[in-house]
Amino acid sequence: MNTGVTSKEAIMQVCRSIAAEKGLSALNMRAVARECHIALGTLYNYYSDKDELLIATVESVWKDMFHMNERCETALSFPDYAAWLFESIQRGAVKYPHFLTAHSISIAKSKKGRAKSTMEHDLGHMKAGMLAALLADPAVDPGIFSPSFTRSDLVDFVLDNILMLLVQGKANCTALLELIRRVVYR
């Protein structure tokens, strides 16, 4: 009788647990198979190699981080959405210590282009939410945008700075939020 973990979602729960407790660097096929109480060959039925397992885990961690508070904020002003995004990732960083830096390093070391496209997809999802909040915020002055400073440019700048502040371990993004307010609300 096999009492091991045999569904892809159950395997991902184990992978997220390993990532939370030991970090992404502890993820390998043997460790995951052992934690799932399955044969290594069974794990290979789900993931062809460590890179594929790592990519799936990173994507699963990002999803977990954004669903921790059980709702995704969509009806917020742009600065409030940026604050919500910062706080969501920050809460996730508590559950998954060193995830942001380990994520970047893991993706950089990956041999497959899929890792980079997955990271771009995850960041693209964040950017799309920010862009929607920016477009829906009636207080944003549309006159601040130009061909050389687009809404997408602002979103890229804000997300880059949110991630940088989080990697640096900053407790808040108050200065960034004040900068956003001074730029977009004239």
Residue 140 confidence (pLDDT): 97
DSSP letter for each residue of 10-66:
HHHHHHHHHHHHH-GGG--HHHHHHHHTS-HHHHHHH-SSHHHHHHHHHHHHHHHHH
Task: Give the Cα separation of 144 and 140 in Å (integer).
Answer: 9
| Residue 134 or residue 64, greater confidence | 134
Which residue, among 30, 31, 5, has the nearest Cα to 19 in the 3D structure? 31
Q: How far is CA 123 from the centre of its chain?
A: 7
Residue 96 pLDDT grade (very low, low, confident, very high; cuts 50, 70, 90) = confident
Task: Give the Cα separation of 74 and 15 in Å (integer).
Answer: 29
Residue 70 pLDDT grade (very low, low, confident, very high; cuts 50, 70, 90) = very low
- For residues 94 and 20, the answer to whether their CB atoms sit within 8 Å is no
Task: Give the Cα separation of 74 and 130 in Å (integer).
Answer: 9
Task: Give the Cα separation of 30 and 160 in Å (integer).
Answer: 35
In the predicted model, what is the mean pLDDT of residues 8-37?
A: 92
In the predicted model, what is the mean pLDDT of residues 126-146?
A: 95
Q: How far is CA 17 from the centre of its chain?
A: 16
pLDDT tens sequence across 161-180: 999 999 888 999 999 999 99
- For residues 54 and 110, the answer to whether their CB atoms sit within 8 Å is yes
In the predicted model, what is the mean pLDDT of residues 60-89?
A: 80
Which residue, among 78, 43, 61, has the nearest Cα to 119 in the 3D structure? 61
- For residues 60 and 12, the answer to whether their CB atoms sit within 8 Å is yes
* pLDDT averaged over every residue in the chain: 86
CA distances from 27 to 17, 85, 151 (A): 10, 27, 38
Residue 145 confidence (pLDDT): 97
In the predicted model, what is the mean pLDDT of residues 82-104?
A: 83
Residue 165 confidence (pLDDT): 94
Of 43-52, 64-73, 92-101, 176-185, where does mean pLDDT reach its minimum?
64-73
What percent of the chain is predicted at pLDDT more than 90?
58
Amino acid residing at 84: W
SS3 readout for 99-124: HHHHHHHHHHHCCCHHHHHHHHHHHH
Task: Give the Cα separation of 83 and 99 in Å (integer).
Answer: 19
